[in-house]
Structure 1
Amino acid sequence: MSTAEPGPNAAFYVVLNAGSGHSETELRCSTIRDVLGAAGRTCHLEIVRDASQIGDIARRVANQAKEHEGVLVAAGGDGTINAVAHQAVLQGCLFGVLPQGTFNYFGRTHGIPEDLADAVRALLDARVTPVQVGMVNDRIFLVNASVGLYPQLLEAREHDKRQYGRSRVVAILSALKTALGRHRPLRIELETEGHTRKLRTATLFVGNNRLQMEQVGMEPLTEAVEEGELAAIAPRVVGKFGMLGLLVRGALGRLGDAENVVAFSFKRLRVRHAALSPRRRIKVATDGEVTRMDMPLEFRVVEGRLRLLKPVPVPEAAPDGERAPAGARLA
């Protein structure tokens, strides 16, 4: 796939998730238009006010970007970025990101500023970099995908946020309530590189993000993701106190020290039900969005299909105040 840079007058086709409210949305829109307008660049901005429409909107805007050799841009959290990136991969568009979510794992991993105006300016001087994505069946994921307890946790969190408000405290308490509640463990069969194992677990979590692996303390898997693989984490079934212990270890960045966790890396993984009467469909979370998929599940790496506009690293200042040599990167 070509990694050609965008033309000097390439237009930006922005899909923006309305998120928190009218006034905030208007401020974000004006910031994007003002920064691009000051640089003499054209901006076509589409606002997503109904989350259920984001797939259709992203598809339509991606078609426009492809037709006019423009840049498709996602403005929102990891779920919004996923939906727009999916269309960028399908259409072969250049892809830009304006992170506006809570965690912003994808944007932070690739050095994209979290301040909106700075992120827009970074698009203007960015360079095209092929980026690895994960796939589960026919859906891509940029950060993670999972089955079992984690999709239930996400659904419960959204329900509680609608009822009690969007805050980190609500998110944490909701996660604890779900993780320590009653749930049916998964009985699955994993097949990778000709090897098969059966596993009983609360959840199977597949990561595609170095930063997230670092935060929970899975250093070997961090290296694997950097080298073009996906990372699988599956806690063995434990009691409520055992689950609480795993959650605490993850929060402290020490999950890699836990004895009751199966962890490995892979290029391709097939997941089947091991039960005698398996369900044909299962809930799967991809970058925070929950859908139902047919079993078996096929996880795999797709290299270089997403052509990301990535900010140019800023050279460090040398200790004596001189500029560092070209190519030096910020830590």
Structure 2
Amino acid sequence: MLSLRGRGALLAAAAVAVPLHLGLAAAPAAADGGKPGGGVTCPELVPDCDINAEGGGGGGKGEKPKPAGDPGGGGGAGSAKCYIEWDNIGEVPCYDADMGWFNPVGQCYWEILEPQPAKDAADWEWGTAAPASDAERAKGKVYNVTCPGGGRELAGGSTWSLNPPPGFGGGPTAEELAQEAIKKMRLLGADIGSAPKAGKTGLVGMPVWIWNNKAPRTWGPVTASASAPGITVTATANVKKIAYTMGDGGSEVCTTAGTPYEKRFGGQPSPDCGYRYTKTSSSQPGKAFTVTAITTWTVHWAGGGQAGDITTTREAEPAQITIGEAQAVAKP
């Protein structure tokens, strides 16, 4: 780790390699399931943290709790995963006892510099990250920045930031924020439409039309964002396909929403999403085939200098299709 003296020349490099992203000011963390005063102290500047109260021992009076994600802390950073793309390093710990917390923006580790430099320190240069005022300086912190891999340690150094960087204190990764954005979308399965419709009877061998009544939450696009201090991820979801199970053992996969049937189409088959039954539904419960559907959504997300794709599925409310058989009537 570089000493405080002589870091001025390194600040500009740190500002380029690890851009500062200022987010919301950290709020005091609650303990014991949100009840204040529970005796749990989150890492400094961390707006929220989870403490695993099961097993592990420790945590006695006067013992400083270890941050979630520190392997020795008795807790964990949940499903968070951190990666360095440089030199094909791959997955790395989200917390390192020597380097601090991994920041996915810039893919470097950040830890609070101890002790913090005095504002009038002769050997300290604030550089491009200088706070606007003494009051603002007091609200932020100076961090040591370490960038592993490919000689990128030279891009590290120290920098001041008003807020903790993304990932600091075991905060959510960009992909975890994308999952939060997906929850906000409230995506649905298909709103199944069919001809024949409920209450009407189709015939064996005749075309059956199937479609999804299109709406943003049943077809897309749907866009939502989720944020944490220093990082915002925006995700957009669209339907990739809908797999229909027709109730007679057959299925149909449609990559379009399907075409709603109109009387002017007569006995034509659907141009993009249809089916033909080869037997009647008379032996089925309610004398109708139960049609189910699974919608596959693809979600593209971007934020924090990263991007990715997530696939998720949703089930539809079942629909009923009644199929009869034409009867020949003999003339006397």
Give the greater-gyration-radius structure (CA). Answer: 2
Give yes or no for TM over 0.5: no
TM-score, normalisation: structure 2: 0.22
More helix per residue: 1 or 2? 1
TM-score, normalisation: structure 1: 0.22
